[in-house]
Structure 1
Amino acid sequence: MVKMSEKIIRYDLETEIDHGIEVSNLAYATAKELGLAENLCYELAVAGMVHDIGKLRLSRYMSGEENPLVIEEIKYVRRHTQLGCEVLKKRGYSPFVLEAVYYHHENYDGSGYPENLRGEEIPLGSRILRVCDTYAALTEKRPYRDAFGQETAFRMMIDEVKNFDMQIFLAFQRAIHKS
């Protein structure tokens, strides 16, 4: 018999792998649309795949209930960028990937985390991941809601466009519409 904690861990792992693949593909396509060099496109694909790996180290803090996060859990989830960087650094990932992962929740208007960076202070890779991660999260089914369609996801992102670098957001939209 599979214990509830094992089901949660299996769900978390499967969900994070699927999410990482989606963000990886979106980041690569967006980087190509921006005209970045092939090595940077590849690095962004790698960063997209592993950007949330730190969440897997947070399982013990989470309640496991299929509800949106409660306030007490949010402070732990926000540590996932730091935890992910620690894991990836030990495994020899490039500085570009580490930086992209660490800052991928920074908002262009300075309201994000972990360091409230603003605009061009946010590394390019992180700005790309921010857009791709948001879109992927909106278009994926979650335990507490169904997936949003592409059009609805875009409308929701436009409502929060202050979070994104506009040039990257527009390149992302072009890349999505090409596929």
Structure 2
Amino acid sequence: MQAVRELTVEDRKELSSILTDDMEEAIDHGILVSRLAYLLAEETGCDESFCYAMADAGLVHDIGKLRLGKYLYASNRNTLIVEEMKYIRMHPDIGYDILKKYGYNEEILKAVLYHHENYDGSGYPNNLKGNQIPLGGRILRICDVYAALISDRRYRCSYHKEAAMQLMIEEVKNFDMKLFLNFLSIAYTEPFTEVDKYAREINKKNFSWKNILHDGTY
């Protein structure tokens, strides 16, 4: 989690001021995506500043759900009705607006806005296709899906690494193939395995997002 650890005290205070207790699941997810996005950007040959931008983007990519927090997290239902899904699809735009207000740069803003765009054009909010999707959005798309699959959810248990990878391969049309191959190439490296381990600890509720954002420990 080096990318998260190396956030400045000011960064962590700012992020903590945006994020709230009732979104602990989303925050834990953001921490996983942050580290994965840094690793994938690094493997892709991006410069250091872009790698750290992806770490920041990964951490706050679902910040738009804050506006929908009561609507999404207060419910005990395990599934969402069609009307609710319409609102959920608004969260990238909402996140973009929130982060723009806080002065985040364009690389982070575009990554957050487009992290649900699929490479085949079937995603949202704008149905972008292929390289129309900014690199940051394509990176977060892969990392977001993997982090979700290896995490417990209210409606299912987490998948282990191999099962998660297989599910992603079956839906590879959603991803930039070059980036996805880079992702697979680092899947068994030590830093990547550290992310898997952290996900297991989150699933066991042994770590708190507050510790990571407030003092950088984990």
**Taking structure 1 as the reference length, what is the TM-score of the superposition?**
0.91
Partner residue in 1 for 2:187: 176
User: Helix, strand or coil: the match of 1:22?
Assistant: helix
Q: Does 1:41 align with 2:51?
A: yes
SS at the partner of 2:26? helix
Counterpart amino acid of residue 54 in structure 2: L
Structure 2 unaligned residues grouped into runs of 5+: 1-19, 191-218
Q: Does 1:55 align with 2:58?
A: no
The number of equivalent residue pairs is 170
Does 2:173 match 1:142?
Answer: no
**Retained in 2: the 8 A contact 1:16–1:52?**
yes
Task: Identify the residue that residue 197 of structure 2 maps to in structure 1.
Answer: none
Partner of 1:117: 128
**Per-residue deviation at 1:178?**
1.1
8 A Cα contact 2:32 2:147, kept in partner: yes
Distance 2:160 2:175 in 1: 20
Contact 2:23-2:69 within 8 A present in 1 as well: no
Q: TM-score, normalised by structure 2?
A: 0.75
User: Percent identity, aligned pairs only?
Assistant: 55
SS in structure 1 of the partner of residue 38 of structure 2: helix
Residue in structure 2 matching 1:13, options 10, 23, 45 = 23
2:78 matched residue in structure 1? 67
Aligned to 1:23: 33
**CA distance in 1 between partners of 2:187 and 2:103 (Å):** 31
Alignment RMSD (CA, Å)? 1.2
C-alpha contact (below 8 Å) 1:61/1:76 kept by paired residues: no
Question: CA shift at 1:57, angstroms?
Answer: 1.2
Q: Distance in 1 between matches of 2:151 and 2:44?
A: 25
Shift of 1:72: 1.4
Contact 1:54–1:80 (Cα < 8 Å) also in 2? yes
Give the gaps of 5 or more residues in structure 1.
Answer: 1-8
